[in-house]
Amino acid sequence: MTTRHTVAVLGPGGTGGLLAALLSRSGHRVICLAREATADTLRGTGIQVRSGQFGEFTAPVEADTELREPVDACLIAVKHTALDAALTRVPPAALGDALVVPLLNGVEHPAALRARYGRDRVAPAVIRVESTRLAPGVIEHGSPFTEMDLTGDPVPRTRLEDLAAVLSGAGVTTRVLGDETAALWAKMAFLAPFALLTTRYGLPLGEARTRHREELESLVAETAAVSRACGAPADPAQALSRYDAFPPSAKSSMQRDAEAGRPLELDAIGGALLRAADRHGVPVPVTARLVGELRAAGH
């Protein structure tokens, strides 16, 4: 490691906690931002990780309820439903010249974050990982991979590459992508049909893709059309083949939230898709129906 960085992690849950622990283990200073009880636990015990990829280890971290000093980067790893409340822990004046790196689902959050923190400071990222917080400071990492795409059209490329090197050095396979819209919509185009279909019918992917095949194909086609209208490439056939290759027992995070009675990221995913479709005049009848039915069910 060449330079020791200071990284804040807003939301040290399944994903944020794993990243915090990996960065700490590789020698960087990590400040986790969370509620008082969680911050107390993390200060006392650090973060314990159980991982097939990285082994079992405990990493010390600092923790606070609010950022009080400049950092090199701030990873935002809360869910969209908690974003507004969580951002009060990161006052813009405290950040210094930090890069703000949201790991959120959806496509609308970069604009809101840029309005708060500055246009050239927000570097949206897409992360591919399965990681769960079992208790405060206890993380179970289930996927055999931890991969991130880092982007940000207005951000100087050298800053993105520097942060990518820090993350890669910690064990997160990170690449810098030049087209922010394409990166965000690539995830959205895969996530939206998966989340909406499995959550609406309460079925794992294997049953959903079989029993509701026609709806899945329609969702994929509609999402791809919106993605292309927004300037991002889309391949419906490839998306369908990816769904078919997934384990039959796979569930979307939205479906898991519904089963647990947690708030759903329905507006960040389904709502954002409908708003983009409306802006570009793209008809999305199946998407609109499923989003409407989920909202009618109290989500």
**Domain residues for 237?**
182-297
In terms of domains, do 65 and 108 share one? yes
Strand order in the sheet with 147-150: 125-128, 147-150, 173-176
In terms of domains, do 44 and 61 share one? yes
Q: What is the pLDDT of residue 197?
A: 97
Q: How many domains does the chain have?
A: 2
In terms of domains, do 35 and 53 share one? yes
In a domain, 1, yes or no: no
In terms of domains, do 30 and 121 share one? yes
Rounded CA separation 31/36 (Å): 13
In a domain, 12, yes or no: yes
pTM, two decimal places: 0.93
Q: Is the pLDDT of residue 35 over 90?
A: yes
In terms of domains, do 173 and 189 share one? no
Q: What is the pLDDT of residue 273?
A: 97
Q: How confident is the prediction for the chain on average, in pLDDT? A: 95
**Element spanning 245, H or E:** helix 236-245
Q: How large a percentage of the chain has pLDDT more than 70?
A: 99
Given 178, 200, 217, the domain boundary residue is 178
Q: What is the pLDDT of residue 184?
A: 95
In terms of domains, do 78 and 212 share one? no
pLDDT band at 246 (very low <50, low <70, confident <90, very high): confident
Rounded CA separation 64/32 (Å): 6
Helices (H) and strands (E) in the chain, counts: 13, 12
Count CB-CB contacts under 10 A for residue 228: 15
Q: What is the pLDDT of residue 3?
A: 86
pLDDT band at 298 (very low <50, low <70, confident <90, very high): confident
Q: Can you tell me which residue has the tokens 């090199």? A: 72
Q: How large a percentage of the chain has pLDDT more than 90?
A: 93
| Mean pLDDT along residues 179-187 | 94
In a domain, 128, yes or no: yes
In terms of domains, do 130 and 208 share one? no
Given 153, 178, 203, the domain boundary residue is 178
In terms of domains, do 172 and 196 share one? no
Backbone angles phi, psi at 70, to 5 degrees: -65, 145
In terms of domains, do 162 and 240 share one? no
CATH code for the domain in which residue 38 is found: 3.40.50.720
In terms of domains, do 267 and 203 share one? yes
Burial class (CB in 10 A: 0-12, 13-18, 19+), 93: exposed
In terms of domains, do 37 and 174 share one? yes
Model pLDDT for residues 53-89, shown as the tens digit of each residue: 999 999 999 999 999 999 999 999 999 999 999 999 9
Q: What is the pLDDT of residue 168?
A: 97
- Cβ-contact 276, 222 below 8 angstroms: no
In a domain, 66, yes or no: yes
CATH code for the domain in which residue 292 is found: 1.10.1040.10
| Mean pLDDT along residues 286-294 | 98
**Which has the closest alpha carbon to 123: 85, 82, 157?**
157
The number of C-alpha atoms within 13 Å of 137 and in the hemisphere containing its C-beta is: 18
Rounded CA separation 10/78 (Å): 7
In a domain, 155, yes or no: yes
Q: What is the pLDDT of residue 2?
A: 61
Task: Please give the angle made by the CA atoms of 120, 123 and 124, to the nearest 5 degrees.
Answer: 140
In a domain, 92, yes or no: yes
Q: What is the pLDDT of residue 299?
A: 73
Q: Is the pLDDT of residue 266 over 90?
A: yes
In terms of domains, do 73 and 133 share one? yes
Given 147, 163, 178, the domain boundary residue is 178
Rounded CA separation 128/137 (Å): 21
* Amino acid of residue 298: G
Kindly calculate the radius of gyration of the chain based on its CA atoms and give it in whole angstroms. 19
| Alpha helices (runs of H) in 46-156, residue ranges in sequence order | 83-86, 109-117
